[in-house]
Amino acid sequence: MRALVLLCCFVASLLLPGQTEEAEDVSEEVPMRDRSHIEKTLMLNEDKPVDDYSVVLQRLRKIYHSSIKPLEQSYKYNELRQHEITDGEITSKPMVLFLGPWSVGKSTMINYLLGLENTRYQLYTGAEPTTSEFTVLMHGPKLKTIEGIVMAADSARSFSPLEKFGQNFLEKLIGIEVPHKLLERVTFVDTPGIIENRKQQERGYPFNDVCQWFIDRADLIFVVFDPTKLDVGLELEMLFRQLKGRESQIRIILNKADNLATQMLMRVYGALFWSLAPLINVTEPPRVYVSSFWPQDYKPDTHRDLFLKEEISLLEDLNQVIENRLENKIAFIRQHAIRVRIHALLVDRYLQTYKDKMTFFSDGELVFKDIVEDPDKFYIFKTILAKTNVSKFDLPNREAYKDFFGINPISSFKLLSQQCSYMGGCFLEKIERAITQELPGLLGSLGLGKNPGALNCDKTGCGETPKNRYKKH
C-alpha cells in the first residue's frame, strides 16, 4: 500500500508542473492584430457627417413610381420575376452578403471588420455550425435585436417582401442594430453555412429562394472558403447557379490562410480554383482574396505582408461599393426598367398574335395554347428583336411564359397601344423616356457634382412616410 502511495505521489509530481505550465499558457493573452489599416481604409475616424442623398433618392423614387411601376403592374412583371421593388429598397444602404460553407469564418470576419470581438455586440462563432439564421446587421442608436416578423412588417426597411417565404423563415430571420460608424453606410448580412448532407426540406423554408432574394439585392457578395472545406456539393453548386449573372459582385475569400505553409497554401489555392472552375463560366474569374480575417495576429513564419495587402485590397473594394452607392442604385433601377419593358413587349406580342389568329369559329384556349407551346412558330421573340432595340441576350426564358400565362389568362391584358391616356401619356413611352433620358440624366448629374432639385411626389405617393404595422401609436 505504501509503495502504491509513493508511486501516486511520484506520478503527480510529474504531471503537476506540466499542468501549471499549460495553465500559464492558457492565461497568456493572444496577441491581437493592429486595426489601424481598417479604420484608415474605410475612413472610420473621419468626423465628416454621413452624406445626405435624400433629394436624389426622392427623385429616383418619383421616376420609378411615375414611369416604371405603371407598366410593371399592368403586365404583372412581379409574377414572372418575383422581384418587387419597394421604397425601402430604393432608399436602402448598400448590402454586403456573406455566403459559404459552415464554419469557414463568415461571422468571425464580420466581428473583425466591425471590431465586435469580446463585446456584447459580437456574433456567436465556433468550430461547429453556429449560424442557423439570416442575420442582418444594421446601424442603430443602441444595441437592439429585431425579430424577423417585425422586419418584414416594417415598410421603412427593405425586407417586407420576405414575408412571401413564410413564417418558418421569418423565425430564422433576425436583425441586429449596432451603433457602429461603418453600419451608417452599409448593411451586412450573415447567412447559415452550407451543409452538403442536409436536404432542403430539413431547413423548413426554401433556403435557395431566400438566398436568391438576397443575391438579387446585394451590392457585394463575399463567398468564403477555408483550406478544409473546398469540396463542392449539390447545395454549393446550386448557390453558384444562382450567382450567375452577378459575377461582377462576387469576391472569393480563402480564409484562415495563415494556418498553412507556403507550399501547402499554393496547393490549396490551386485546388480552390479547380473546384470552382466548372461553376463559374466566365472569361475573367472573380477576384480571390487570400488572408486570415480575424482579430488575432498572423501566425509566425507566414506571409504577413501578403495577407495584409490582400486585406487592404478587400477593404478598398468594400469602400468603393459604399462610395458608388447612388450610381449602383440608379443602374439597378434602370436595369429593372429594361426588363419590365422587354416583358411588356413580349406580352403585347403574344396578345397581338392571339388576336390575329382568332376567328369566329376558333377555340380561344386551343389557339393560345398552340402559341405558348411553340412561340418560335409564330415568331414571337424574333419579332421583338427585329422591331425593337432589344438585345437577344436580354430576352427571358421562353419556358417561363408557359408558367406565367398558366396563371394569368391572356384576356386579362391590354395591348400596349391601348395603355395610353390623354393626361398620363402612354406607359411604353414613359418607361422608354426613363431608360434613355431620365435615369441617365440623374446619373450624369451625380458625375458632374450637381445636386438634382427636389421633385414633388404628391401625385405618385413616393414621399409617403412608411408605416410599421406592428408599431403602437
pLDDT digits (tens, 9 = 90+) for 340-394: 999 999 999 999 999 999 888 888 889 999 999 999 999 999 988 888 888 888 8
For helices 398-407 and 364-373, angle between their N-to-C axes, nearest 10 degrees: 150
**Residue 317 CB-half CA count within 13 A:** 21
Report which listed range, 131-135, 183-187, 204-208, is most confident: 183-187
pLDDT at 118 over 70: yes
Strands 95-99 and 144-147: unpaired
Query: CATH classification of 80-302 is 3.40.50.300, yes or no?
Result: yes
Q: How far is CA 193 from CA 104, 221, 224, 226, 227, in A?
A: 8, 14, 10, 12, 15
Mean pLDDT value across residues 294-299: 90
Question: 195 pLDDT exceeds 80?
Answer: no
Crossing angle between the packed helical segments 54-63 and 439-447, to the nearest 10 degrees: 160
Query: How far apart are alpha carbons 357 and 361 in whole angstroms?
Result: 11
* Residue 260 DSSP one-character state: S
75-101 pLDDT per residue, tens: 999 888 767 788 888 988 999 999 998
Contact (Cβ atoms closer than 8 angstroms) between residue 226 and residue 255? yes
Q: Which pLDDT belongs to residue 198?
A: 55
Question: What is the structure's pLDDT at 76?
Answer: 94
How far is 214 from 194, CA to CA, in rounded Å? 15
Per-residue pLDDT, averaged over 157-163, amounts to: 87
pLDDT at 473: 41
Residue 147, pLDDT score: 94
Sorting pLDDT into bands at 50, 70 and 90, what band is 196? low
Distance between CA atoms of residues 471 and 451, nearest Å: 35
Nearest-Å Rg of the Cα atoms of the chain is 27
| pLDDT (0 to 100) of residue 156 | 75
113 pLDDT band, cuts 50/70/90, is: very high
- Distance between CA 150 and CA 257 in Å, rounded? 39
pLDDT (average), residues 172-188? 93
Q: For residue 11, give the C-alpha cell.
A: 506520478
Residue spans per domain, the chain: 80-302
Q: Report in angstroms the alpha-carbon separations of 62 from 68, 85, 100, 271, 458.
A: 10, 13, 38, 49, 10
Give the per-residue pLDDT at 463: 40
- Give residue 106's pLDDT band: very low, low, confident or very high (50, 70, 90): very high
Q: Give the model's pLDDT for residue 462.
A: 40
Question: What is the DSSP-derived secondary structure letter of residue 122?
Answer: P
* Residues across the chain: 473
Strand 220-225 versus strand 420-421 pairing type: unpaired
Q: 256 is written with which cell numbers?
A: 484562415
Burial class (CB in 10 A: 0-12, 13-18, 19+), 274: exposed
Q: Of the given ranges (128-132, 181-185, 335-339, 355-359), which has the lowest mean pLDDT?
A: 128-132
Integer distance in angstroms from the first to the last C-alpha of the chain? Answer: 80
For residues 50-58, average pLDDT: 76
Cell numbers for 147, please give them: 425579430
Residue 428 — pLDDT band, cuts 50, 70, 90?
very high
Task: Work out the average pLDDT over 424-441.
Answer: 94
Average pLDDT score over the chain: 83
Tell me the whole-structure pTM to 2 decimals: 0.80
Give the contacts of 148 (CB within 8 A, at least 6 positions apart). Answer: 162, 169, 170, 171, 172, 173, 174, 175
pLDDT for 318 beyond 90 = yes
Does 2 or 274 have the greater pLDDT score?
Answer: 274
The pLDDT value recorded for residue 168 is: 92
